[in-house]
Amino acid sequence: MSEAADVPGVSDGSDPSDVLALDSLLTANELAVRERIRDFTEQRIKPGIARWYEDAVFPLEVVPELGELGVLGMHLEGYGCPGRSAVEYGLAAMELEAGDSGIRTFVSVQGSLAMTAIHKWGSEEQRQEWLPRMAAGELIGCFALTEPTAGSDPSSISTFARRDGPGDDAGWVLDGAKRWIGFASVAGVMVVWARTDDGVRGFLVPAGTPGVRATPIAQKLSMRASIQCDVVFDAVRLGPEALLPGARGLRGPFTCLNEARYGIAWGAMGAARDSYQAALNYSQDRLQFGKPLAGYQLTQEKLVNMLLEIQKGTMLAIHLGRLKGARKLQPEQISLGKLNNVREAIAIAREARSILGGNGITLDYSPLRHAANLESVRTYEGTDEVHTLVLGKHITGIGAFR
């Protein structure tokens, strides 16, 4: 913490929205990373987001820039990955989601899901083949686990990979369907989880493999600057080298999901903070009955409660980051972080919107977009109900899932 003291003007409480001086919990390096990514968001995401969102376009041109920024596979070591700390990764997620959840989602899918799967469960050859280009943003990865009929229950997946002949050096034939697969239609490589005779295994499926069809889900009211796909695998033939050797069973994808959830707990607070800031600014500028909106008790009540939850959620994220840095972070802790921070973020974004009056329904202001995006974030990687029951089992010792 001593480093932080050297950063002028940051941790001295001069920012009235950092009431708790949480910046004083961050090192100078961490603050520097945050500034860099905040700048990127201001300059590269915010100016274009309204148009991308309206047009339902994911800005592919931003991908290599994210690579250059060092946020793809940010927490991984080697193979061209940045190797940053857990808190730095979290801060990056926060700043990017202050821009748009769709952008942070891309970074999560690329780094926490696809790259982590390859890094952790892949062979040396697989790592070398895919990770450097993915870290650079030259190639997009996706992560195909969820299926149309098994949203919150991955144990019921039915996509199946059977051996394409006898012996361990035989290839595979993959059949099944996935849904809500982020960026599948633009991915150069898919990490696909399928049932086999040997339990659930992961496969790397390069773009263009015959029999694979990824269709973006259209007419979305959330995450419009992002891509989620239906993917069909129709007798897809894969060589034996497609198999991720290190992962057996659901522990493989679950490890990746926990990485992603960790980032979400941070990211959601970025969307919340940006919503709050938009509402605060508007309320200070907008006159009502000759007085700024910010001067009314009903507005102050909203702003204070929003800020209070942002500060608590951010403190929680920092705490999770410190635990993760010390390799002590437990799945229940991540569940608590994801549950709380997304739930509070969505409430904050909605409340922020209410301060903006009619103007708040346009893309000129971020809160309603954030609120809409967070509907997706709330659902993926475990709904409120799933995380509640995970925690419920943890504290009572009794599972109530069924």
316 is an interface residue for a copy of itself by CB under 8 A: yes
- Least separation in angstroms between residue 223's CB and a copy of itself is 7
Tokens 């012996």, residue?
167
Q: What is the enclosing helix (H) or strand (E) of 232?
A: strand 228-238
* Residue 1: Cβ-neighbour burial (10 angstroms; 0-12, 13-18, 19+): exposed
> Does residue 190 contact residue 199 with C-beta atoms inside 8 Å?
no
Residue by residue, DSSP assigns 175-219 as: EEEEEEEETGGG-SEEEEEEEETTEEEEEEEETT-TTEEEEE--S
3 is catalytic: no
How far apart are alpha carbons 313 and 290 in whole angstroms?
A: 35
277 is an interface residue for a copy of itself by CB under 8 A: no
CA atoms within 13 A on the CB side of 111: 36
Question: Which residues, numbered 30-59, are part of the site for a copy of itself (CB under 8 A)?
Answer: 50, 53-54
Tokens 């050096």, residue?
169
Nearer to a copy of itself, 59 or 122 (CB): 59
Question: Which residues, numbered 160-179, are part of the site for a copy of itself (CB under 8 A)?
Answer: 179
- Least separation in angstroms between residue 283's CB and a copy of itself is 7
Contacts of residue 199, Cβ cutoff 8 Å, sequence gap at least 6: 248, 249
Any idea what DSSP says for residue 72?
T
- Least separation in angstroms between residue 230's CB and a copy of itself is 11
354 is an interface residue for a copy of itself by CB under 8 A: yes
2 is an interface residue for a copy of itself by CB under 8 A: no
Nearer to a copy of itself, 130 or 266 (CB): 266
What are the Cα distances from residue 128, in Å, to 239, 311, 324, 381? 18, 41, 26, 28
Number of other residues whose CB lies within 10 A of the CB of residue 215: 11
297 is an interface residue for a copy of itself by CB under 8 A: yes
215 is an interface residue for a copy of itself by CB under 8 A: no
What φ, ψ does residue 106 adopt, rounded to 5°? -60, -45
9 is an interface residue for a copy of itself by CB under 8 A: no
How far apart are alpha carbons 208 and 310 in whole angstroms?
A: 44
Which of these segments, 20-28, 200-208, 230-238, 263-271, binds a copy of itself (CB under 8 A)?
20-28
308 is an interface residue for a copy of itself by CB under 8 A: yes
Nearer to a copy of itself, 118 or 329 (CB): 329
Which of the following is catalytic: 95, 97, 351, 381?
Answer: 381
How far apart are alpha carbons 308 and 8 in whole angstroms?
A: 24
Contacting a copy of itself (CB under 8 A), which of 3, 39, 138, 364? 364
> Does residue 144 contact residue 214 with C-beta atoms inside 8 Å?
no
Contacting a copy of itself (CB under 8 A), which of 180, 203, 233, 262? 180
| Number of residues binding to a copy of itself, judged by CB under 8 A | 96
Which of these segments, 74-82, 92-100, 242-250, 317-325, binds a copy of itself (CB under 8 A)?
317-325
Nearer to a copy of itself, 210 or 298 (CB): 298
Mark residues 225-254: x for contact with a copy of itself by CB under 8 A, - for none.
---x--------------------------
- Least separation in angstroms between residue 218's CB and a copy of itself is 8
- Least separation in angstroms between residue 165's CB and a copy of itself is 34
184 is an interface residue for a copy of itself by CB under 8 A: no
219 is an interface residue for a copy of itself by CB under 8 A: yes
Nearer to a copy of itself, 67 or 367 (CB): 367
The one-letter amino acid code at 301 reads: E
SS3 of 229, please? strand
Nearer to a copy of itself, 88 or 309 (CB): 309
Contacting a copy of itself (CB under 8 A), which of 80, 83, 151, 246? 151
Number of other residues whose CB lies within 10 A of the CB of residue 368: 20
13 is an interface residue for a copy of itself by CB under 8 A: yes
Look up residue 162 and give its two tokens.
């059977």
Contacting a copy of itself (CB under 8 A), which of 267, 333, 338, 349? 333
How far apart are alpha carbons 8 and 127 in whole angstroms?
A: 41
Give catalytic residue positions.
381
